[in-house]
Amino acid sequence: MLDDLDRALIHALYIDGRAPFSQIAAALDVSPQTVARRYRRLRTEASLRVVGLPDPHQAGQTQWLVRLTAAASTAQDVAHALVRRQDTSWVKLTSGGTEIVAIIHTPTESGADNSLLLRDIPRTNHITAVSAHCILHTYLGGPTNWRRSTDSLDDKQQRVLREHEAADTSYTPVPRQLAEGDAALLVALQRDGRATHAELAQATGWSPVTVARRLADLQAGGALFFDVEVDTGHFGANTRALLWMSVSPAHLEHVATTLAGHDELAFVAATTGPTNLVAQALCRDPADLHHYLARRLGSLDAIHTLETSPVLQNLKAASPILTDLARTRRSATAPRPRV
């Protein structure tokens, strides 16, 4: 479990993922060396990682929530094959280990190459069932954080971090959208959102000053945000589940915004398909999940059907870029499905 300082550091990173350790230290009233040590330890022990992610709409991307069913003997191999791809994120094993759920990022423009959805998955004989749900609108998730991971800092501490974020008056950001020339910058930020301006300059071929200004412009335009990946089990959320709900269209907006205010949920989105609302619940244990389903969701009459899929393992988080290859390293003699 995380202690108070760990939780405060994570909360600070949610506010400003690129805040210098010195500024975080000032807000937490500890030394910069202490913050740096804690950050390094959390990266190792809690899978902590700051990643820079594009706004899907501005990046010309459509997100598909895909459910795959595979034989028990091959499900993990199929899941790890999906993890290794750079057009996937949030790869999970659910429902007894035979179902795989992943987000697939595809180009939005007409005629784009959607090879994973149209060709690679359908021809994989290890997969016995597929359903794809286009994410139409995200009510909770992305730039909006799980509340139980951001409840450690008081108003004064949060103000210290936000004042630093707005303190640089030497350059006034010009809100901009993503362009083709930002590809190298995005890849570097998806790998490490706290990469220094010098490291980003090396990755892009720009000067550190140009990097700093481009980051400021993209954030000002809402084209880029910074997310924090962390093992939620360290927050005491040992029971995780995906909730697939069917809600009448007339009540969809009301139900979705209501769910987005629930502390037990980390993700809420409207999708296509017979279940048109999906959420991810993070609870202490099965009894806590049952309490949430029976008493909170049960009070919403507009939810007509509910399917609960327990999440057994998170194999990949928000960033499409995989950095820890050890997590997916397989035996050289084991068969590897390709998807």
């048109």: which residue's tokens? 276
- Tokens encoding 297: 């969701």
Calpha distance 4→15 (Å, rounded): 17
- Measured distance CA(277)–CA(300) in Å, rounded: 13
Query: What is the residue-level pLDDT of the chain in tens, covering all 339 positions?
Result: 899 999 999 999 999 999 999 999 999 999 999 999 999 999 999 999 999 999 998 888 999 999 999 988 899 999 999 999 999 999 999 988 899 999 999 988 866 666 666 667 766 778 889 999 999 999 999 888 899 999 999 999 999 998 866 656 678 899 999 999 999 999 999 999 999 999 999 999 999 999 999 999 999 999 999 999 999 999 999 999 999 999 999 999 999 999 999 999 999 999 999 999 999 999 999 999 999 999 999 999 999 999 999 999 999 999 998 765 334 333 333 445 556
Distance separating alpha carbons of residues 63 and 131, to the nearest angstrom:
14
Nearest partner of 142 among 52, 82, 240, judged by Cα: 52
Q: C-alpha angle 79/132/238, rounded to 5°? A: 50
CA distances from 2 to 7, 38, 155, 264 (A): 6, 11, 21, 18
- Return the amino acid letter for 122: P
249 burial (CB, 10 Å; 0-12 / 13-18 / 19+) is exposed
Report the distance separating Cα 257 and Cα 277, nearest Å.
11
Residues 278, 244 contacting (CB under 8 angstroms): yes
Give this prediction's pTM.
0.89
Q: Is 300 left (phi over 0), alpha (psi -120 to 50) or beta?
A: beta
DSSP symbol at 145: P
| Alpha-helix residue ranges (DSSP H) falling in the chain | 4-15, 21-28, 32-45, 75-83, 115, 155-165, 183-191, 197-204, 208-220, 249-259, 286-291
Query: What are 225-282's pLDDT values in tens digits?
Result: 999 999 999 999 999 999 999 999 999 999 999 999 999 999 999 999 999 999 999 9
Q: Which amino acid is at 89?
A: S
Angle (nearest 5°) at CA 121 between 129 and 81? 105
Span 285-295, pLDDT tens digits:
999 999 999 99
Which residue in this structure is represented by tokens 């009233």?
29
Contact assessment for residue 214 and residue 206, using Cβ atoms and an 8 Å cutoff = yes
Mapping DSSP to helix (H, G, I), strand (E, B) and coil, where does residue 67 land? strand
**Residue 230 tokens, joined:** 């962390």
